[in-house]
Amino acid sequence: MKSTETSILQANPRRAVFLDRDGTIIEDRGDLSDPAQVVFFKNTTPALRRLADHFALFIVTNQSGVAKGTITLEDVQRVNNYVEKHLAVAGAPIVATYVCPHQRSSGCKCIKPNAYFLKEAEREFGIDLRRSFVIGDHPHDVEFAAQSDATGIYVLSGHGIKHRAGIPAGTTVVEGISEATDLILASVSAPQTGRRGGGQLETTAPPTPFLGLRRGGTKLRLFWETA
């Protein structure tokens, strides 16, 4: 990124919504190796189109099937390209898709709930994490948000119901992506600052322009560092 663009982004930090992939915006059908296996939840496209008017959108997904050998990086790339293209055509472009291809036992830096990718987005795209949100169907997504002081929203789609007992008390819980969007946009419309913490939503000021960045046409971000 050019230094002038970096200066602009630092002066105009943008808030974002970080989306889990499987079980949050598409059905969780295990390790996907082909775009034909992708099934979007019916409310995903309209919900993300609404969010895109106010937030930069990112996907952050753990794909341990790569390390296990059940899928390849190329498979993950094809599936993510399909997801991004579908959403871009619908008016909800994804700024970047971040993928951890490791198993949890590897001790890597990038697997959720480690905040590696949130910090990467903060650095590369000038994201204000304290005014951003994480939506996911696993307790790791909630902890992922807490690691960087973003606001986590737990959805009951995907494996959300199965893992609900594992989320911290006070976590914001909703049925799915549409309801999560409603809560987030309600915080946008309220100009006063609300109480934050314990998974509570915070009301925020109107969004600042996302200057100097190209929307869409994203690339797969892979990180292989280990602790």
Q: What ranges do the domains of the chain cover?
A: 3-222
For 69-91, the pLDDT digits (tens) are 999 999 999 999 999 999 999 99
Active site residues: 20, 22
Contacts of residue 21, Cβ cutoff 8 Å, sequence gap at least 6: 59, 60, 61, 80, 83, 97
Query: Residue 198 in contact with residue 167, Cβ under 8 Å?
Result: no
The arithmetic mean of pLDDT across residues 30-56, rounded, is: 97
Looking at residue 201, its pLDDT comes to 56
Question: Distance (Å, rounded) from C-alpha 19 to C-alpha 37?
Answer: 19
Question: Distance (Å, rounded) from C-alpha 113 to C-alpha 53?
Answer: 27
Query: Residue 117 in contact with residue 102, Cβ under 8 Å?
Result: no
For 175-186, the pLDDT digits (tens) are 999 999 999 999
Query: Residue 49 in contact with residue 91, Cβ under 8 Å?
Result: yes
Question: Distance (Å, rounded) from C-alpha 35 to C-alpha 142?
Answer: 27
Q: Give 20's pLDDT tier (boundaries 50, 70, 90).
A: very high
Query: Residue 11 in contact with residue 129, Cβ under 8 Å?
Result: no
Looking at residue 3, its pLDDT comes to 42
Contacts of residue 16, Cβ cutoff 8 Å, sequence gap at least 6: 55, 56, 57, 58, 95, 121, 125, 127, 128, 129, 132, 133
CATH architecture of 3-222: 3-Layer(aba) Sandwich (3.40)
Q: What percent of the chain has pLDDT over 90?
A: 74
Question: Distance (Å, rounded) from C-alpha 215 to C-alpha 37?
Answer: 26
Q: Which amino acid appears at position 25 of this protein?
A: I
The arithmetic mean of pLDDT across residues 124-137, rounded, is: 97
Model confidence pTM above 0.85: no
| CB contact burial 61-98 (16+ within 10 A = b; e otherwise) | bbbbbbbeeebeeebbebbbebbbebbbeeebbbbbbb
* Nearest one of 133, 118, 217 to 177, comparing CA atoms: 133
For 4-13, the pLDDT digits (tens) are 334 434 445 7
The arithmetic mean of pLDDT across residues 52-76, rounded, is: 96
Cα-based distances in Å from 5 to 18, 42, 209, 213, 216: 22, 37, 13, 8, 17
For 100-124, the pLDDT digits (tens) are 999 999 999 999 999 999 999 999 9
